Amino acid sequence: MMEEKILVEEVMISPPDAVEPGTTVLEAVRKMVERGKSCSIIYRDGKLWGILTDRDIITKVVAKGLDPSTVRVEDVATSPVITVTPDTPVLEAIKVFTERRVRKIPVVREGRVVGLLTEHDVMRLMRVIMETNEELRRILGI
């Protein structure tokens, strides 16, 4: 019997917008808020270089009392970036979240970000699985 696995590509969301490394944190935050995103991807020389997350902004800028209008994204973004591929099983990605203590993972195919997987996406998937399991148990009377 072949084991079915849920892959990252089935759960990932569209990738966040990219910002240039020299962009100020304030500009990046404005773009993130405008587009309803909680992170931005940073490319350098056409390659994934880093990710700026809401946690980076809070811990590395706000908590330190730095001025977001003068701090550059490249100075506070997380780099190198932990990534997964679209064909990574979600269970493997969950291990990455817990072992590497990250909340957002860019999904990369051939060096380009094609999506984003967040802890929230995985929790939503788990809720659907649990609700489906409960419904099946109800239908089957077990």
31 in a structural domain: yes
Residue ranges of the chain with per-residue pLDDT less than 70 = 1-3
According to the model, what pLDDT value does residue 139 have? 86
2 in a structural domain: no
68 in a structural domain: yes
65 in a structural domain: yes
1 in a structural domain: no
> CATH no. for residue 129?
3.10.580.10
Cross-strand pairs, 118? 104
Rounded Cα distance between 25 and 63, Å, is: 14
Token pair in block for residue 79: 């780099």
58 in a structural domain: yes
3 in a structural domain: no
| Structural domain boundaries, residue 51 | 8-140
pTM above 0.75, yes or no: yes
How many structural domains is the chain composed of? 1
